[in-house]
Chains A and B, each alone.
Chain A
Amino acid sequence: MKKGQFFIISAVVVVLILTLIQISIREYNQGRQGYDKSYILYYFNEVKREIPTSYFIDGSGSIENFIDFNSFVRKSVNEKNFYYESFSIILFNIDESPDKLNLTAVNFLKGDIYVNFTLNSTPVQQYGMFVKSNDYNSTVFNVDRNLDYYLELQGDSNYTINLDLSNKNLHIIFSEIRIIGNNIEYIDKVEKHIFLQ
């Protein structure tokens, strides 16, 4: 074989190898292409919008629906080979005398969590709460709906919610939401104040 012929045959072999690599990459990418970074950001924004909505979508304010929807989102996110986590608190007035405020914490983090709640009022009320993973826990604070409060929570992260409890139909939903995977980590907090009859 002449030296020149060797170069041409080598070129053909290189092209064949590159073609095989291209076919393999295409096969590998089948079914994966839909879930890229830009897409997951769209999806994350949908989750941020819909997680609080799930609590009041039926018009009454349902912690059961809220928990069920968190499970639904987790399953949907897992199908994309990403991981979903959230920690939420739901606050609403209890129509009793004296005034009371219900606080429910919902834990969709990987592990159990201990959270400290401080309701800044006179006197300051503090409450430490243990919430198992994929579970929820509740407590009740004594309040005076004519006063303004703010609630500090210290747990996986810290957050403060301003409370205007004058309308007894007020419900407050706070969630910290995370979608993690494939070198992506989207984390954000959402707080929604709504009035339900």
Chain B
Amino acid sequence: MVEVSISIVIISLFLIVFMNQNYESQNRMQKNKDEVFSVLLSLERKNELRDIIFSNNVNKINQTISSSIPKLKRFYPVIFNKTTNVTVLPNINDKRNVAVIEYLISGEYGKYDPRILKIFLWD
């Protein structure tokens, strides 16, 4: 009887830790994505985001995200044009879970030149 109880305790403890880890990880990632996207939308509302992306100003994006979401440490913005990245890529061999937020523009007023801002977020 004691052994059966020990077995149940082993499996239950594992399941509690296992389920909680997954749930917390997914929740944290979703929350981070929502917060980063809100920061982008606030820049969009101020009519700054298009110019920031078009001028490849990843420093401004870094500063804005860092000041708006101080607890978010692991993120990396990259800007792509139609064919390649125009700012430096992160280490994409990182084994941790990664999420990507994207923001798309067709150019700056006066010039057609499509760009995508991708913000990589790590768990």
B3 touches which of A5, A26, A38 (Cβ 8 Å): A5
Is B98 located at the chain interface by the 8 A CB criterion?
A: yes
Mark interface residues in B20-57 (1 if CB within 8 Å of A CB, else 0). 00100000011001100100000000000000000000
- Contact between A35 and B82, CB atoms less than 8 A apart: no
Distance A30 CA – B92 CA, assembled complex (angstroms): 11
Residues of chain B within 8 A of A139, CB atoms compared: none
A111 smallest CB distance to B (angstroms): 26
Distance between Cα atoms of A22 and B103 in the complex (Å): 32
List, in ascending order, chain B residues with CB within 8 A of A19's CB.
Answer: 14
Which A residues lie within 8 Å of B4 (CB)?
A: 4, 7
Chain B residues near A114: list those with CB within 8 A: none
Q: Which residues of A contact B (CB under 8 A)?
A: 2-5, 7-8, 10-12, 14-15, 18-19, 22, 26, 29-31, 33-36, 38-39, 42-43, 46-47, 50, 53-54, 57-59, 62, 65, 68-69, 72-73, 76
Could you list 14 examples of A-B contacts with CB < 8 Å? A4-B4, A7-B3, A7-B7, A11-B8, A12-B10, A15-B11, A33-B99, A34-B101, A39-B33, A43-B104, A50-B105, A54-B106, A57-B106, A57-B107
